[in-house]
Amino acid sequence: MMKIDLSTSEKEQLQLAVCQRLVNERSYLSQEELRHDLRRHGFDSISQSTVSRLLKLLGVIKIRNAKGQKIYSVNPQLRPAPSAARSIAEMVVSVEHNDEFILIHTAAGYGRAVARILDYHALPEILGVVAASSIVWVAPRDVKRTALIHKQINYLLMMH
C-alpha cells in the first residue's frame, strides 16, 4: 500500500469512513477486533482510545445479534437519511480494485444512486454494475483494463 501524507483532519475523516464501513460490513464483539481490522486497512498505529473516540463520533452502539451476542452497530436513529442534495463525492467513501473488478464503497443508502450514475454514463468499458445499499460492484468488459476503468470511475465520481 502506498503511503500518503494526510493532514490530521483528513486522516480522521478517513479513519471515520473506514471505521463506519467496517462496522456496517462486519460484526465486531470488541473494540480490539475493530482496531485489528483498522490496522489491516493501513492505520498501523491506531490506539484503542482512538477507536473508542471514532465509535463515539459515529454514534455506534452495542446491539444483540441473532445469536444473542452484543455487537457494534451504527445507531439506526443517527444514520442520515439519503439526500439527493448530497454531492457525488460525499456519497462515495472509497473506490478500489483488484485485477478483476472494482468496488465502490458508499455512505449507507447511496450504493444504488452511485450505480445509476455509472449506468447513465454508459462507459463502454464496463460490462455490468451490481449495487447494494452501501457498495457497488463493477465488472470490466476486459480485465486487462481494470486499472484504467478504476481511474475513469474515480474521475467520473470526482474522487481524484
d(CA 142, CA 27): 35
Identify the residue whose cell numbers are 476486459: 142
> Of the candidates 101, 96, 66, 61, which has an alpha carbon nearest to the alpha carbon of residue 79?
61
Query: Residue 106's pLDDT is what?
Result: 84
Amino acid (1-letter code) at residue 108:
A
- For domain 8-77, the CATH architecture is Orthogonal Bundle (1.10)
* pLDDT at residue 47 tops 80: yes
Of 50, 68, 71, the closest CA to residue 60 belongs to 71
What's the chain's average pLDDT? 84
Query: For the chain, what are the domain ranges?
Result: 8-77, 88-156
The three cell numbers of residue 154 are 474515480
Kindly tell me the sign of the dihedral angle through the C-alpha atoms of 154, 81, 115, 88. Answer: negative
Amino acid 38: pLDDT? 93
CA distance 145 to 154: 14
76 confidence band (pLDDT: 50, 70, 90): low
Tell which CATH architecture fits domain 88-156.
Answer: 2-Layer Sandwich (3.30)
